[in-house]
Amino acid sequence: MTELRDIKGIGPVTEKKLRAIGISKPRDLLTYYPSRYKENRLDNEQPWVLQETLMLLCEVTADPRLFFIRKNLTKMTVKTIIDGKPVDVHIFNRHFLKKMLRPKTKIVVTGSFKDNFRHFTSSDLILHKNFKAGMKPIYSVADLSEMSFHKWILRVLEDDAILPQERLPEALLVKRDLPLLQDTYHKIHAPRNKRDVAVAQKRIKYEEMLMFALRLHAQRIQTEKTEVPRKGYDIEKVRRFIATLPFELTDDQKQATNDIFRDLKKDRPMNRLLQGDVGSGKTVCAMLAAYATVTAGEQIAFMAPTEILARQHHDTFNEFLMPLGVAVRFLSASTPSEERKHITADLQSGKVDIVIGTHALLSEDVGFLHMGFAIIDEQHRFGVAQREQLREKGCHPDVLYLSATPIPRTLAIGLLGNIHVSSIMQLPKGRKPVRSFLVGYDAMDDVFSVMEKELSKNRQVFFVVPLIEESDAMNHMSIDAFEHVLKKHLPEGKSYAILHGRMPDDEKADVMARFKDNTTAVLLSTSVIEVGMDVSNATMMVIINADRFGLSQLHQMRGRVGRSGFPSKAYFVADDPEKARERLHVLIETSDGFKISEADLRMRGPGEVFGLSQAGIPRFMMASLLDDAALFKQAQSDAADVFSADERKAQVLKKQAMEHVDGFHLD
Ligand code: ADP
Ligand code: MG
């Protein structure tokens, strides 16, 4: 049995369909796991609860009666007896069974008791002689028959020549109490009970995690071979700089900064993720490390996903570091070509210390004399290749990722490889939590009167809408449409500005600058303001069609306010606030970004939250970096053991992992 066609029941047409779902050899059927199971178990002994689904064995006591209710709808009532009690069973559209249901026939019905136990409505009915107790695997196989699909798998399971040989060292199977591979396939496709399924799933997940951990381990060995000069930074200068900051670092910021500096001192390249909620003050930690790098005579590349964000980082760095004689430059696609030439020349000659920019930093004309430190903001917005490209502009630079969508450690490893994680959990002192409200459009009048109050105190307000222009396809608010409404409610003497992704970059920068210095009071924008924008005088955020955005995204947008000691408010406006509450209640209940991103990840999955194509999350058939953290930990520790074991299977696994690592990107 080497080809699919060798399996009884599979012809050319079926073969084609199987190929379409990724099955090209009999063996592939084994790793096409059931998407769920249906448990066949008689509930006769269980207490009967009204409306609850039950599977009951009963005996027909009289010929069924058939009713034609209307076209295509028949009802059959069957008098039965269940454990001595007479029960009327109703079943729809199964008139063709009538002849089989003779008195004394034993049948199994699935359904529930209705109408105060007066009758049992059955959705499924089979003859008792065809009933098989146990777990029935359910496969999602589109246009193939599920029953045949299962039969083919059972045929493959019977053929010892096809079943793959055990790959994992016996010591590991014993240590982790895992079934053998062949046994696993039997248990997953033909389980006798729930336990079989659980045992098999554990082994499959474990193996997936172990393979991943082995590759990570191989990669780590590779990196640890890479020696880099320790950064000879001037700690006294850094200390003096810290003393001049207008605030004291929070304990978490201090901890994170220490982590980073310890990495800088090592003779191995840093690979660290600094995660912290919006406004937690990650930038200053990055800036301290950047300054230290400058004192060590090396250059820094700082890449951010949007022009606005990059420009803002540039302005912050410039404000703090220019007085210290550090040359900071900004580079984006909108930088005029003359200026760009100057900047790239000065980077090449080492005259510029720090360059902050967008994807433009990846262009070929951008090169460094000696770039020793790369900072990547909102890393998940960049693909694996782009992160690699920036890294390659230096010589094994230290790399620091910043992220405002905090993620569990296992997931960070999935996204970024052997990464160390520092987390800023606390916000700077004096921040007041943003009061959040989920409202319907009928509350807009109130929203506008709150706006008026804020504006009268000379504070500023954000409005976010999903679309730029009206769209037939989507029934969402657009900038065009909302502008009319806003104009009507804007108090005299107050101005507004519009910001969206399709505006020219210099215009965007201009709008931002005027909002920052409070020349404009209200900013009406799309979600381009999502990341980073820092305007501490803004105290009110209104998000229209809030139900259209992801939780993390909404949290990010809310993070644009509450950046000062003034109390701030956020309004999430939805078509149907009660329906939206199911998903958005987390936002109202907490402002803890860790909790929110966790909830978002659970609801939408990492692929959606981070953008699957960009993120480079390893794809497992069954394991999940989110749910199987404990198993991953075991796999990681076992991977280290495999690498040091002499046993034959361990050697094979190790060799495979080492061979993979060269071309190994985490995607
Ligand atoms: P994020 O973590 O979102 O990147 P930022 O680094 O932009 O946050 O910091 C948000 C604001 O908080 C900035 O205006 C910054 O100057 C300020 N800030 C940072 N750290 C502190 C601190 N320890 N105390 C007070 N304000 C701080
Ligand atoms: Mg930031």
Concatenated DSSP letters for 163-185? SPPP-S-HHHHHHHT---HHHHH
- Ligand 2 centre to CA of 428 (Å) is 14
- Do the domains 435-590 and 235-267+281-403 match in fold? yes
- Ligand 2 centre to CA of 358 (Å) is 14
Which residue is closest in CA terms to ligand 1's atom 1?
279
Place of tokens 């039950």: 54
Taking the CA of residue 377 as reference, the ligand 1 atom at the shortest distance is 4
Cα–Cα distance measured from residue 107 to residue 2, given in angstroms and rounded to the nearest whole number: 41
Q: Where are the beta strands (DSSP E) in 141-288?
A: 271-276
- Ligand 2 centre to CA of 375 (Å) is 12
What pLDDT is stored for residue 530 in this prediction?
Answer: 66
Which residue out of 283, 313, 379 has the highest number of ligand 1 atoms within 8 Å of its CB and is therefore the one to mutate? 283
What pLDDT is stored for residue 667 in this prediction?
Answer: 37
Taking the CA of residue 276 as reference, the ligand 1 atom at the shortest distance is 2
Distance, first Cα to last Cα, the chain: 33
- Residue 486 burial (10 A CB sphere; 0-12, 13-18, 19+): buried
| 250: DSSP letter | P
Q: Is the pLDDT of residue 662 over 60?
A: no
Q: Where are the beta strands (DSSP E) in 208-316?
A: 271-276, 299-303
Taking the CA of residue 430 as reference, the ligand 1 atom at the shortest distance is 25
What pLDDT is stored for residue 664 in this prediction?
Answer: 45
| Mean pLDDT (the chain, rounded) | 91
Given CATH 2.40.50.1010, say whether it is the number of domain 42-130: yes
What pLDDT is stored for residue 613 in this prediction?
Answer: 53
> Which range is least confidently modeled, 186-200, 443-457, 502-516?
502-516
Per-residue model confidence as pLDDT tens digits over 119-131: 999 998 999 998 8
Q: Are 117 and 48 in contact (CB under 8 A)?
A: yes
Q: Are 307 and 506 in contact (CB under 8 A)?
A: no
- Ligand 2 centre to CA of 108 (Å) is 62
Which residue is closest in CA terms to ligand 1's atom 15?
281
- Ligand 1 centre to CA of 428 (Å) is 7
Cα–Cα distance measured from residue 158 to residue 161, given in angstroms and rounded to the nearest whole number: 9
Per-residue model confidence as pLDDT tens digits over 211-223: 999 999 998 898 8
Per-residue model confidence as pLDDT tens digits over 444-501: 999 999 999 999 999 999 999 999 888 777 778 899 999 999 999 999 999 999 999 8
Q: Which of 482, 132, 416, 448 is nearest to 274 (CA)?
A: 416
- Ligand 2 centre to CA of 313 (Å) is 8
Q: Which of 333, 325, 245 is nearest to 285 (CA)?
A: 245
Ligand nearest to the CA of 304: 2
Cα–Cα distance measured from residue 381 to residue 619, given in angstroms and rounded to the nearest whole number: 19
What pLDDT is stored for residue 665 in this prediction?
Answer: 46
Cα–Cα distance measured from residue 513 to residue 533, given in angstroms and rounded to the nearest whole number: 11
What is the CATH superfamily name and number for domain 235-267+281-403?
P-loop containing nucleotide triphosphate hydrolases (3.40.50.300)
Cα–Cα distance measured from residue 204 to residue 33, given in angstroms and rounded to the nearest whole number: 10
- Ligand 1 centre to CA of 585 (Å) is 27
Q: Are 42 and 71 in contact (CB under 8 A)?
A: no
Question: How far does CA 434 lie from the centroid of its chain?
Answer: 25
Which residues is 92 bridged to in the sheet?
75
Q: Which of 424, 401, 430 is nearest to 258 (CA)?
A: 424
CB atoms closer than 10 angstroms to residue 660: 14
Which residue out of 242, 244, 245, 247 has the highest number of ligand 1 atoms within 8 Å of its CB and is therefore the one to mutate? 247
Q: List, as one string, the DSSP characters of 619-667.
A: PPSS--TTT-HHHHHHHHHHHHHHHH--SHHHHHHHHHHHHHHTT----
Which residues is 55 bridged to in the sheet?
110
Q: Is the pLDDT of residue 63 over 90?
A: yes
Question: How far does CA 174 lie from the centroid of its chain?
Answer: 34
- Ligand 1 centre to CA of 250 (Å) is 10
CATH number for domain 435-590, candidates 3.30.70.380, 3.40.1160.10, 3.50.50.60, 3.40.50.300: 3.40.50.300
Per-residue model confidence as pLDDT tens digits over 629-653: 999 999 999 999 999 999 999 999 9
Per-residue model confidence as pLDDT tens digits over 611-633: 655 455 677 889 988 889 999 99
Residue 436 region, left (φ>0) first, then alpha (ψ -120 to 50), else beta? beta
Cα–Cα distance measured from residue 93 to residue 77, given in angstroms and rounded to the nearest whole number: 11
Cα–Cα distance measured from residue 231 to residue 537, given in angstroms and rounded to the nearest whole number: 39
**Hey, is 194 helix, strand or coil?**
helix
Measured at the CA of 39, the angle between CA 36 and CA 44, to 5 degrees, comes to 160
Q: Are 357 and 331 in contact (CB under 8 A)?
A: yes
Could you tell me the two tokens for 36?
């769920």
User: What ranges do the domains of the chain cover?
Assistant: 42-130, 235-267+281-403, 435-590
Ligand nearest to the CA of 287: 1
Which residue is closest in CA terms to ligand 1's atom 22?
428
543 vs 624, more confident: 543
Q: What is the 3-state secondary structure (H, E, C) of 417-461?
A: CCCEEEEECCCCCCCCCCEEEEECHHHHHHHHHHHHHHHHCCCEE
Amino acid identity, residue 314?
Answer: H
Cα–Cα distance measured from residue 362 to residue 340, given in angstroms and rounded to the nearest whole number: 13
Taking the CA of residue 280 as reference, the ligand 1 atom at the shortest distance is 2
- What's the Cα-to-Cα distance from 420 to each of 408, 417, 423, rounded to whole Å? 12, 9, 10
Q: Are 547 and 553 in contact (CB under 8 A)?
A: no
Amino acid identity, residue 623?
Answer: A
Pocket of ligand 1 (CB under 6 A): 247-250, 253, 276, 278-284, 404, 428, 534, 563
State the helix-helix crossing angle for 551-558 and 593-610, rounded to 10 degrees.
130
Which residue out of 422, 534, 594 has the highest number of ligand 1 atoms within 8 Å of its CB and is therefore the one to mutate? 534
Place of tokens 């939250």: 609
Which residue is closest in CA terms to ligand 1's atom 10?
279
**Hey, is 149 helix, strand or coil?**
helix
